[in-house]
Structure 1
């Protein structure tokens, strides 16, 4: 068991503008279960950074922003700096986040003159995703008081605050547990030390700092699954929250950081060697493109099929009801990332609308909430952002009737059979 921690709230120039908060909880460890691997379908990569570039170069500013400041709530000891002193490419395909015992610019922290520097990067304002596979291959640092993390926050944190925004910790490690990493969900009523998660421990006393490992979550409507090097060690759904609110069906952004000290890891001591480095080989987000075999029909009112008008692939092409004919315009794949795809594009709510009557169309897959769908056993197809159902306009079964979203009523024009 790790010790309880308080929510993370950084007093940072960037973060204060966003209202960011948190990272953090004590978790009971659970034994991993071997991953079961099916034949993988091709995936659409929606975000990728391989950190290729010359040694000493800064990260890509089109993908990442750098936060600055300290963190009083967790009682961490570092000051996060801008520039390349604590976050830079190594010229060998890695991002290196370095924690140093230094204070070259007289940085001030919550406890007085800062003792350490480090870096924290995020994709807020650059990239968000709703569902998909979010992964990074990393070699973590070691030592008492060292706390690397790879995690995500709900993009609405500036509006709703933390923990209502939700937080998905993909990987956290504290230095006194060299063989164990943790994955956690935080949300309203289950934040801080009450987060829902588990730990994964390497066999045979191996230490995570000795080699690169791949840390990932596979995230779909109402489910998040964690893995290390392809081995699944936990899966969480709303059923794990004891009736508390599930806040993980919306866009999140990505964070990488290396903290020093704090309530959970404790402070560095005489055994801690500096500098310590977090090496990141890549960060990648991909959305499952569906099952192998080209998908199948989605049938609804009067036994007719969800159809791409004219079999066209242009953005904005109408999605309609039509006699089932077995063409590619009616073969849909339902991905583990919450997308529904045909002809290489996604089922999309026009302009991300949430109002009754907003048309549904075909559009380039982009990871937005307008392209996320849940397919519960009740045979509704629901867009979680709008909390509305895929609906046949006017309840008409005529060919070419346009599909839309509408408040879920349970009517026949909102019932669908998905062939997977």
Structure 2
């Protein structure tokens, strides 16, 4: 996303096909063992609120950004703000009259580009965001990372890119010395319907000598040093994150009469999890998880940690059956076993059970600052089924709605 790149869409497609044929050796890689959340932004501010300046800063200007882009990036809440419904909104607008100067003259468009540089960086782990992309010819949303300001030597990891003339396709790419610009190594997935129709989870899991791309929890591409054809692997140091919506550029082309403005990218959350080599023990300490709805606690029935025990709500009593620890691998543990969606399913209505911890990513949960107990793989919340406030009420996965039967407090 940083320099002149993807001069022709066909060039990238060719690179993707070539990369997809590279045989990767599992002997020189370390599969990501994903730990707990290290950084997150859930965008729970009021409507029109600016971004959290402790977490993000702005890139500003209309230089073309190395790609002949047509927008001027501002720090205005007209272009970047929270929407009051739990989302970040980055909005590209057609300006009339134009008030900014771009590399090509008076800017026709404004947009936003925010980054965590000087605020947060991390080496290795899971980097993910739930995003509803904008649409239209010449519109180019992206969620990506840079390893420094000396591009391409310090590396670039594109977690998600989409261009308006290919509305159904997500691209994931790496750039480094010898494989930058249109020579970037990447893969893609076409889902058959426009990505702009719904929120999707875009993620990479990054560990020593391995980066894996996921769309909605499904892997679609991986890269190792063997994928680079002898070029230098530069993905061994901390990177920062970037979110932006570009307008125009060599790859997506330029807006035309069919392009409707404004166009908004909505971001539900951005989360970063740790990478661990598997030797770090779970943290000590445990807590009850009390429902804001019923004032009862998540409970292991009869204190019996048998595999498949369906978790329930019960009067808070301080027993070990109601004590939960948030482990370094992202699991939530009670009586030595893990909270788990039954059968590894991720759909609405999936019961929540207790199962032997097995390293499956579906056993990863996070408790957000807003009190949502979220299954990371499903991006769904732990929910009290049928709004039942009685002892014995069952738990399930359900779309996060911000309702009190999905809100939890450590007690």
**Band of TM-score, shorter chain:** 0.5 to 0.7
Is contact 2:34-2:273 (8 Å) kept?
Answer: no
Match of 1:184 in 2: 173
Match of 1:380 in 2: none
Q: 1:167 to 1:41 in 2, by over 3 A?
A: closer
1:26 partnered with 2:28: no
Match of 1:114 in 2: 107
Match of 1:145 in 2: 138
Query: Which deviations, in whole Å up to 9, do the C-alpha atoms of 1:345-398 show, x marking residues without a partner?
Result: xxxxxxxxxxxxxxxxxxxxxxxxxxxxxxxxxxxxxxxxxxxxxxxxxxxxxx
Count matched residues.
Answer: 269
Q: CA deviation at 1:145?
A: 0.3
1:93 partnered with 2:86: yes
Q: Which runs of 5+ in 1 are unaligned?
A: 10-23, 33-39, 296-332, 337-420
Query: Which deviations, in whole Å up to 9, do the C-alpha atoms of 1:143-201 show, x marking residues without a partner?
Result: 1000000000003x2xxx11001000000000000100100000000000000001111
CA distance in 2, matches of 1:277, 1:130: 30
Is contact 1:44-1:289 (8 Å) kept?
Answer: no
1:196 to 167, 174, 185: 185
Q: CA deviation at 1:6?
A: 8.5
Q: CA deviation at 1:71?
A: 3.4
1:70 to 39, 62, 67: 62
Q: How do 1:105-254 and structure 2 match up within 5 A?
A: 106-155=99-148, 157=149, 161-202=150-191, 205-254=192-241
Q: CA deviation at 1:105?
A: 5.7
Q: CA deviation at 1:335?
A: 7.8
Q: CA deviation at 1:45?
A: 1.0
Q: CA deviation at 1:270?
A: 0.6
Q: Which secondary structure state, in structure 1, belongs to the residue aligned with residue 226 of structure 2?
A: helix
CA distance in 2, matches of 1:103, 1:127: 36
Is contact 1:26-1:264 (8 Å) kept?
Answer: no
CA RMSD of aligned residues (A): 2.9
CA distance in 2, matches of 1:61, 1:292: 35
Moved over 6 A (4+): 333-336
Q: Which secondary structure state, in structure 1, belongs to the residue aligned with residue 227 of structure 2?
A: helix
Match of 1:43 in 2: 35
CA distance in 1, matches of 2:92, 2:250: 18
Is contact 2:127-2:272 (8 Å) kept?
Answer: yes
- TM-score under structure 2 length normalisation: 0.61
Q: Which secondary structure state, in structure 1, belongs to the residue aligned with residue 179 of structure 2?
A: coil
1:264 partnered with 2:260: no
CA distance in 1, matches of 2:262, 2:107: 15
Q: Which runs of 5+ in 2 are unaligned?
A: 22-31, 283-326, 331-411
